[in-house]
Structure 1
Amino acid sequence: MRCFFSCVNPLKAQFPKKNNACISPPLLSLLNNFETSLRLSITKLILKDDDKNAFLTVSWMIQAMRSLCETHQSIKTLVTDLNLLVSHTEESLMYAYSDISSKLLQLCDAFILELDRINHVNLLLKLAFSNAEEFSLSQFNCWRQLMASKNPSIENCGEVLSSLVESMNRYHRLYKKKQSEKVKVFMRALYGVMVKTLYICSVFAAAFSGSSKNILYLTIPKEMEEVPWEQAFMELQNMINREIKNTLFSDKFTGIKDIQAVESGAEKLYAEVQKKLAPNMLMAELLKRSVIEIPERFDIISNETRCLRETMISAREALFKRGWNKI
């Protein structure tokens, strides 16, 4: 697992506790409301002990991507509420944010392509289960081979994530110097959004690839002022990383449990057919139902990812519009 943000936090100089007193009450209220909302959104992704099996299911992935979309919609709203007019001296903020959002858009595009690929390949499973009494071994084998093939866009996610972390570090270093209170509020809010986004995107990359090499471990430096969402984020991250470590897909082509369950069930059905045994009709029917439902639910993840993509583009345009109008 990769470990980032372990260096001295460059936001320390901007956001020490005593500096909160320098932020006007209306702006401080906006910041507090935003960070409280962020904390709650992260908390909702934390699974209880008796629900751990729901992690990395299609349902959890839908919830996580929807949560990211809502968070990025919130940062867009914050830009409007702050009436943030970026001055010429703060022009680098827009370029840094543009660089970060561009890399996030690359990840969104990779996820959308992979979801489309999986749904296309799953057509073979539909054919394999079209007649439970004559389960097609050849179609199943073709599905398994295609699912195990590597998607270049997913294979490239690790490089994009590493580059994104470097961009975030450069972004923070740009603003050690004194900034306007509105920029301070925006930067601190964006920091939380990026931490949440980076980590969840790394989980998606690991799930799609079936490998833990893309998973991040993000630490919030002790030197940084305590933020309301930190505890919830660390709990979420520790929970997920622990589950990944315990169940890690070393020989699987995917980490998505719904697909793993279909593969496992199909393997059992495959073995029965090979032994010329009467197939378990109940199991075959349940598998057939899953094969029909999974693509429909993948479409929901894809739609939520497209929502995130469009929201990031819209938020970036909103910030640039205000910046260029001021300049």
Structure 2
Amino acid sequence: MSRPQDAKRPFFPFGNPFRMISPKGDKITPQLLSVLHDFEAALEERLKKLIPKSKDEILSLSWMTLAMQVLCESHNHIKTLITELELPVNDWDEKWIDVYLDISVKLLDVCVAFSSELSRLNQGHLLLQCALHNLGSSSSEQYIRACSSLDGWKQHIGSGNPRIEKCGSILDDLLGSLDLPKVKKSAKGKVLMQAMYGVKVQTVFVCSVFAVAFSGSTKKLSVLDVADVYSWASTFKGLQNLVNEEIRVRFSSGGFTVLNELEAVNSSVKELNPIIQGVVDTVETESLVRIVRELGRAAEKLSQGLDLLTKEVDSFFQVVLTGRDALLSNLRPGATVIDSIVGSNRDAQIVN
């Protein structure tokens, strides 16, 4: 089995998080408790960043970009935690490594699916640009071309993506990874296990929201039941309830899409269609110019939002990939987690 090198092992299934509280095994020292407390406090702050000031922010590309940014931060923080714990690779059970590699592959698949969907949505921008160009003329022939481009845009955006459809089963597997049998008893292992549980919950939540937004179906919407023993549980539950409730409301309204920026473009398209198709006999030039201008602004905002989100998804892909690489490096004779982390940090700096 190939074993990648991980510097920030985003998904280390170190066991059932609820068994972490068991008094058996090595006791967690005050120093380790302090390290864990700092990690969970930082995790909670990242979750708070995702609580929108308004429900209108939910499922906007800017909110999704922020969600991916804080997810990368959490995964990178795990790398720092591993450095602080100085947990050598020879203390890791073979099962931890095997399951991690399996989960990280699934995460990479999810990233590839998200990237393909973002690329597909961005391709529609060419059709919008073509329509806007033709709307710059008052000729009926140009209007016909504009109408064709706008119809093509709606068909393109409305078509499905097989890769996104497969995300459902992958997310189910990731959900199953949250509760795994305990493999080892050690104070450092318990701390890392509890920290990893928080990151896994955050990751499954964010990926679930993305899958729902891209698929147009709430079937992939996950509801994670986190025990109150975790200091960040209340914040997470509040965030999850707020986001999931808004998602269900939007789907029940039966709109063209649940993504804010896509819906803004579609609203302008709906307003333009009857005009350029000649359904509306008289329309003031001023009103037409206004609608075309609004469509142009909405299309540009959509394109910019997709570009920014694509960069963040790519960054997360790199986090997971370098994590697998670091783990492979750890498996070399005499290697330690810290050796690999230092190496992957250097590689990441070169990439950036």
Q: What is the TM-score with the length of structure 1 in the denominator?
A: 0.87
Say yes or no: does 1:220 pair with 2:226.
Answer: yes
| Whole-angstrom distance in 2 between the partners of 1:69 and 1:253 | 31
Aligned counterpart in structure 1 of residue 178 of structure 2, from 159, 168, 180: 168
Structure 1, unmatched stretches of 5+, are 1-8
Aligned CA-pair RMSD: 2.2
Say yes or no: does 1:210 pair with 2:210.
Answer: no
Q: 1:14 to 1:238 in 2, by over 3 A?
A: same
1:67-120 Cα shifts (integer Å, max 9, x gaps): 111111111221222222133661211111111111111111100011111111
Alignment of 1:214-293 (within 5 A): 214-221=220-227, 226-248=229-251, 251-252=254-255, 254-274=257-277, 275-278=280-283, 279-293=287-301
Query: Secondary structure of the equivalent of 2:197?
Result: helix
| Whole-angstrom distance in 1 between the partners of 2:89 and 2:323 | 14
Which deviates the most, 55-64 or 250-259?
Answer: 250-259
- Please tell me the residue identity of whatever aligns with 1:255: V
Query: Secondary structure of the equivalent of 2:230?
Result: coil
Q: How many aligned residue pairs are there?
A: 309
1:137-168 Cα shifts (integer Å, max 9, x gaps): 10000111111111001111111111222233
Partner of 1:38: 43
1:193-248 Cα shifts (integer Å, max 9, x gaps): 010000110100111112111110000146xxx11111111000000111112221
Q: Which has the larger radius of gyration?
A: 2
Q: 1:193 to 1:21 in 2, by over 3 A?
A: same
Displacement after TM superposition at 1:318 (Å): 2.8
Partner of 2:204: 198
Aligned counterpart in structure 2 of residue 141 of structure 1, from 148, 151, 157: 151
Structure 2, unmatched stretches of 5+, are 1-14, 138-142, 336-352
Aligned counterpart in structure 2 of residue 24 of structure 1, from 16, 26, 29: 29
| Whole-angstrom distance in 1 between the partners of 2:25 and 2:48 | 25
CA contact (8 A) 1:101 1:312 kept: yes
Identity within the alignment, %: 36
Q: 1:141 to 1:324 in 2, by over 3 A?
A: same
Partner of 2:345: none
- Please tell me the residue identity of whatever aligns with 2:173: S
CA contact (8 A) 2:128 2:153 kept: yes
Query: Secondary structure of the equivalent of 2:160?
Result: coil
| Whole-angstrom distance in 1 between the partners of 2:330 and 2:296 | 52
- Please tell me the residue identity of whatever aligns with 1:78: L
1:16-36 Cα shifts (integer Å, max 9, x gaps): 5x6799212332222111111
| Whole-angstrom distance in 2 between the partners of 1:150 and 1:252 | 16
Q: 1:324 to 1:120 in 2, by over 3 A?
A: same
| Whole-angstrom distance in 1 between the partners of 2:81 and 2:291 | 50
Q: 1:20 to 1:230 in 2, by over 3 A?
A: farther
Partner of 1:95: 98
Q: What is the TM-score with the length of structure 2 in the denominator?
A: 0.81
Partner of 1:189: 195
Partner of 1:6: none
Say yes or no: does 1:113 pair with 2:140.
Answer: no
CA contact (8 A) 1:127 1:139 kept: yes
Q: 1:46 to 1:250 in 2, by over 3 A?
A: same
Query: Secondary structure of the equivalent of 1:87?
Result: helix
| Whole-angstrom distance in 1 between the partners of 2:231 and 2:26 | 17
Displacement after TM superposition at 1:37 (Å): 0.4
- Please tell me the residue identity of whatever aligns with 2:36: L
Partner of 1:154: 164
1:278-316 Cα shifts (integer Å, max 9, x gaps): 353222202112212321221111111111111122223
